[in-house]
A and B are shown apart, each in its own frame.
Chain A
């Protein structure tokens, strides 16, 4: 049989999605389902003086109005070992537990009614009198402070470095130094966050939009103080998330609370506007980069300080310093991370959290250094190629970044670039070429999966993972099918349910490296179980053979020496009167993390067209080459990469939350005014995968593929805008008002 891994297989869940048969969280139509709508605070800080729910309670269809005055007091036990995706210090927002208002948009009441319209109406009738107190709503870098202990323990360190950066910078013959900013950005997945909560006695089922059912269950168990076994979380399909569904948000608690109060299943769906305050966002950042180099373009000093906004009731921080620490070879490095507290909902991971920010500053600064040195930007990167991870002092498990540079540059036609800015034109338009490096550290987490070989000759593979869009259903099916030697159609992968074996978070690009290997292990375990049965049998072709004398191939068991025929799985099951046979397998990071540093790499090249008079920038071409280890499915991998390019383009040219400090509020909290790219913005997008197979990192040879795809795109565009116009725009997004 042909290899299935590496084939551009179309999504196995595609037909269900396009025909409407895929059931998303909002669509579980439970008998007796009722609806909840949130009331949110319109002030950034203060407290509730009084609440008047009389009119709301009298409104048609209303079942309950919950406020801090009548909501149950919940224990909110803290999870001892918090998952990385949660805020690492402080505590999550405790909903309806007190009269405090901590940010504009905080839920302060919930209306529950028979229909959605009735709930929304009732929510509008709740009258709340607020006392406003002074709020921290201005991003003032001077207030920056180091991350607190919890975050430091989780690797979000306030400082890292090596050598003597200050002295080396002072002594450097060539120096560049600049400040870069990007605004607060929002995920804006198509599917809104939604939870249906259903209590049956003491058992709670949550149909939720989540990238991690197991964590959802854990958090709600702790919030309500009930054993995890009494909670089931179901989330088979996720309509995009980009990190927004990694952790459990307060509305999940509200839905469960409301369902408990009214004794019926309750659905709570956030409105688009609420999606700007009831989940997280990519925090506003400001960064300062100083580079020192020798005249021939070798980095001698690298200083990088990143300052980000953070909420006040809990502290979410990111690994912003990670790319700086190891992207280039540089003996003297000092990186610093600071947080500015603001009265806002908490930020959270958004595609390539932290790293996309760090790469932005570093890669724009590298471009400025290339100009200062009069060296080609690509050549400058090659001269400072990091052969090892100099911060960790470890070799890379694999690194094909040179091949990425070469392949993408060739494909793009980088050699046609004339070095001087404003030197290339097409009609009235200025043309600019820009490039940047992309990197995202590769991690693995412990994962488990089960494989059931079934009497009809197929297999069902299960794990409590998620597929928010990258194609997990498809790629895991491929891994299992190839490992079992079955055709793709014979294998089904099930995910998104806490009843299934434990899976790690579906984020941070860890899914394939973690779960993929667990599935390989589970397939092996099932095969071994079956082979053991066959060998132990009284009769049959394998009776009494030692284990090394049999082997699976071509969808069944055969003698290892090739004599005799292949007995298919179904036949073996039948011989042992089994309807099916199931086994579990797991995989976890091992010694490799001590021996190697692992990361996915990329090189991104873009062309921009700038209409200088009108200040518009268009991007006709983005070409990226990526080293992501082995590619399980080039088709879905390409989708990931071009999706990352589109996201990066949005970051460079369009995305911005319009924050009004007077109200502590995002004013453009809708998809008409918060702009993300549309089709017309996108020209040629091409993703090339350079060959690699990183067995040092894990047996499947994959690295991570998702986060790396958005890294590097925005700086490449900003660098291209410089090349087109001679103007260095250090503040994203680059909109006409900024360019004029």
Chain B
């Protein structure tokens, strides 16, 4: 094991990006990361707001037109290797925002996330359950460390 992967294993940083949606998922994710019950730091995973520091990008929301470019920019400024986790029905499927108009497509929704950037893990739910986020992120760690 090289010094890089050794130290990385001790401090995985996730960055949370909101791209529309109702904020329900963001609340769940921040709670999951910070609350004593779920406490993501016990798995050596930390929250960051700096893309240059991030290893895992967690995206919530259906990616509105305004959010498309910023999301791509953030994705590109994360150093390799990186993983993208789409969290919540919005990020995975476009959620109610993309799917409840019947046959009228919405021009404001560019998502789901994998229309915009490549996605490595998908977590269902509206909102996502903290349990599912934790196990999704933890399950993707070996993938990240092997990259």
Partners in one complex: no
